[in-house]
A and B are shown apart, each in its own frame.
Chain A
Amino acid sequence: MAFWNKGESGPSEDQVLGVLKKVLDPDLRKDIVTLGFIRNLKIENGNVKFDLNLTTPACPVKDQMRDQAVALIKGVPGVSSVDVNMTAEVRQSPQSDKTSLKGVRNIIAVGSGKGGVGKSTIAVNIAASLGAAGARVGLLDADIYGPTTPIMLGTDAAPQSNGSRIVPSRAAGLKFMSMGLIAKADQPLIWRGPMATKALQQCLFDVDWGELDYLVIDLPPGTGDVHLTLAQSIPLTGAVIVSTPQDVGWRISMKTLRMFQQTRVPILGIVENMSYYICPHCNEKDYIFGQSGGSRAADQLGIPFLGEVPLDIAIRSQSDAGSPLVLHQPNSPSAKVLREIAEKVAAQVSIRSFEAPVLEVE
Chain B
Amino acid sequence: MPLDPTASMPVKIKKVSPAELMIVWKDGHESHYPSPVLRRECPCASCRDEMTGARILLPMHVPDNLEMRGVHIVGQYALQFDWADGHHTGIFSFDLLRALCPCSYCRTQ
Q: Is A231 engaged at the interface, CB distance under 8 Å to the other chain? A: yes
A265 touches B76 (CB 8 A): yes
B71 touches A231 (CB 8 A): no
Q: Is B45 engaged at the interface, CB distance under 8 Å to the other chain? A: no
- Taken together as a complex, chains A and B put the C-alpha atoms of A263 and B91 apart, in Å, by 11
A264 cross-chain contacts in B, Cβ below 8 A: 75-77, 94
Q: Which of B9, B73, B77, B78 is close to A361, meaning CB atoms less than 8 Å apart?
A: B73
| Contact string against A for B residues 1-42, beta-carbon threshold 8 Å, 1 for contact and 0 otherwise | 000000001111111000000000000000000000000000
- Taken together as a complex, chains A and B put the C-alpha atoms of A338 and B4 apart, in Å, by 37
A262 cross-chain contacts in B, Cβ below 8 A: 77, 93
Q: Which of B9, B78, B93 is close to A357, meaning CB atoms less than 8 Å apart?
A: B9
**Which of B13, B73, B75, B79: most chain A CB closer than 10 A?**
B75
Q: Which of A234, A360, A362 is close to B75, meaning CB atoms less than 8 Å apart?
A: A234
A85 shortest CB reach to chain B, Å: 36
B10 cross-chain contacts in A, Cβ below 8 A: 359
- How many interface residues does B have (CB within 8 Å)? 19
A361 touches B75 (CB 8 A): no
CB-nearest residue of chain A to B22: A362
- How many interface residues does A have (CB within 8 Å)? 17
A362 touches B15 (CB 8 A): yes
Chain A residues 308 to 362 lying within 8 A of chain B, measured CB to CB, are 357, 359-362
- Taken together as a complex, chains A and B put the C-alpha atoms of A360 and B10 apart, in Å, by 10
Chain B residues 52 to 107 lying within 8 A of chain A, measured CB to CB, are 71-79, 91, 93-94
Chain A residues 232 to 257 lying within 8 A of chain B, measured CB to CB, are 232-236
Q: Is A96 engaged at the interface, CB distance under 8 Å to the other chain? A: yes
B71 touches A235 (CB 8 A): no
**Which of A232, A236, A359: most chain B CB closer than 10 A?**
A359
B44 shortest CB reach to chain A, Å: 13
B94 cross-chain contacts in A, Cβ below 8 A: 264
- Taken together as a complex, chains A and B put the C-alpha atoms of A263 and B76 apart, in Å, by 7
User: Do A263 and B72 form a contact, CB below 8 Å, given A232-B91, A357-B11, A361-B15?
Assistant: no
- Taken together as a complex, chains A and B put the C-alpha atoms of A231 and B72 apart, in Å, by 14
B9 cross-chain contacts in A, Cβ below 8 A: 357
**Which of B77, B78, B91: most chain A CB closer than 10 A?**
B77
B46 shortest CB reach to chain A, Å: 17
- Taken together as a complex, chains A and B put the C-alpha atoms of A139 and B74 apart, in Å, by 23
B13 touches A232 (CB 8 A): no
A319 shortest CB reach to chain B, Å: 31
B14 touches A359 (CB 8 A): no
B78 cross-chain contacts in A, Cβ below 8 A: 232, 263
A235 cross-chain contacts in B, Cβ below 8 A: 73, 75-76
A1 shortest CB reach to chain B, Å: 55
CB-nearest residue of chain B to A262: B77
Top 6 nearest A-B pairs (CB, nearest first) are: A264-B77, A362-B14, A235-B76, A263-B77, A361-B71, A231-B75
Given A264-B94, A362-B14, 18 other A-B residues pairs in contact with their CB atoms under 8 A: A94-B76, A232-B74, A233-B75, A235-B73, A235-B75, A235-B76, A236-B75, A262-B93, A263-B75, A263-B78, A264-B76, A264-B77, A359-B10, A360-B73, A361-B14, A361-B71, A361-B79, A362-B13
Interface of A with B (CB < 8 Å)? 94, 96, 231-236, 262-265, 357, 359-362
User: Can you show 21 pairs from A to B with CB atoms below 8 A apart?
Assistant: A94-B76, A96-B73, A232-B74, A232-B91, A233-B75, A234-B75, A235-B73, A262-B77, A262-B93, A263-B77, A264-B75, A264-B76, A264-B77, A359-B10, A359-B73, A360-B13, A360-B73, A361-B15, A361-B72, A361-B73, A362-B15
